[in-house]
């Protein structure tokens, strides 16, 4: 499972006499504050995405598609024959080929990127700066660079690409110290979808003959 992330909003006041780096920080602060206000209005989210993992050391690349459901601290990720469900306390990882599910206590501190916080990753634990703009199709994306305060993290940089008009995260890339670059591209985003809390718990009745491995 790709481990997914979190960050800090630092409010800066703009001034005509600020240095270039301070102006960039102020611009990223404005973008992130606006983004935060938007996402806090959502009670739940459904997002279709694509993950591309580039290994610069051996020039290999892997691409997978999936769907994320998120509601508060709960999440479910369906991706390439795996189904990861979490009700905020317990996490179930189901592997379709083996018809096997591993059950563990969920510890958000044990992962670098928490799927339940992927759209608010920037709210704590990071410093940020503005990284310019790029065009993707007809959309203009503002780039915000995030660097973790905790230098023991497995990654050293996260880049958010925010749709300037829609005010939504369109892309996120995680740059790891081991040379891996994981890029998440959001192809469809649906806020405030109706999701029952029971959807975030694995039900063995839905998978006849499933092998349960309880690691709690």
Domains held by the chain: number: 1
Structure tokens at 129: 């700066």
Residue 199 lies in a domain: yes
β-bridge mates for residue 185, sequence order: 50, 171
Residues 71, 116: Cα–Cα separation, whole Å? 7
- Provide the pLDDT for residue 117: 72
CATH code, domain with 86: 2.50.20.10
- Provide the pLDDT for residue 26: 85
Phi and psi, residue 179, nearest 5°: 100, -10
Q: 51 to each of 13, 33, 185, how far by Cα in Å?
A: 36, 26, 7
Residue 198 lies in a domain: yes
Alpha-carbon radius of gyration of the chain: 18
Decide if 76 contacts 85 (C-beta within 8 A): yes
- Provide the pLDDT for residue 122: 77
State pLDDT tens for residues 200-213.
999 999 999 999 99
- Provide the pLDDT for residue 207: 94
- Provide the pLDDT for residue 19: 34
- Provide the pLDDT for residue 120: 76
Range of the domain at 150: 20-204
Spans of the chain below 70 pLDDT: 1-24, 112-114, 116, 118
State pLDDT tens for residues 92-121.
999 999 999 999 999 877 776 667 676 777
CA pseudo-torsion sign 13, 14, 18, 24: positive
Residue 51 lies in a domain: yes
């Amino acid at each position: 499972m790709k481990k997914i992330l979190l960050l800090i909003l630092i409010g800066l006041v703009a001034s005509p006499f600020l240095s270039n780096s301070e102006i960039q920080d102020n611009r990223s602060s404005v973008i992130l504050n606006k983004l935060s206000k938007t996402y806090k209005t959502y009670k739940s989210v459904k997002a279709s995405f694509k993950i591309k993992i580039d290994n610069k050391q051996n020039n290999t690349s892997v691409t997978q598609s999936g769907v994320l459901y998120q509601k508060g601290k709960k999440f479910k990720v369906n991706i390439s024959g795996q189904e990861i469900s979490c009700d905020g306390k317990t996490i179930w990882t189901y592997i379709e080929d083996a018809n096997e599910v591993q059950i563990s206590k969920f510890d958000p501190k044990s992962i670098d990127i928490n799927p339940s916080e992927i759209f608010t990753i920037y709210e704590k634990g990071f410093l940020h700066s503005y990284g310019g703009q790029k065009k993707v199709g007809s959309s203009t994306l503002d780039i915000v660079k995030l660097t973790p305060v905790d230098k023991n993290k497995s990654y050293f940089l996260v880049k958010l690409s925010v749709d300037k008009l829609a005010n939504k995260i369109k892309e996120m890339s995680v740059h790891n110290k081991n040379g891996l670059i994981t890029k998440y591209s959001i192809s469809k985003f649906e806020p405030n979808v109706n999701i029952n809390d029971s959807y975030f718990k694995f039900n063995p009745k839905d998978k006849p003959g499933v092998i349960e491995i309880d690691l709690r």
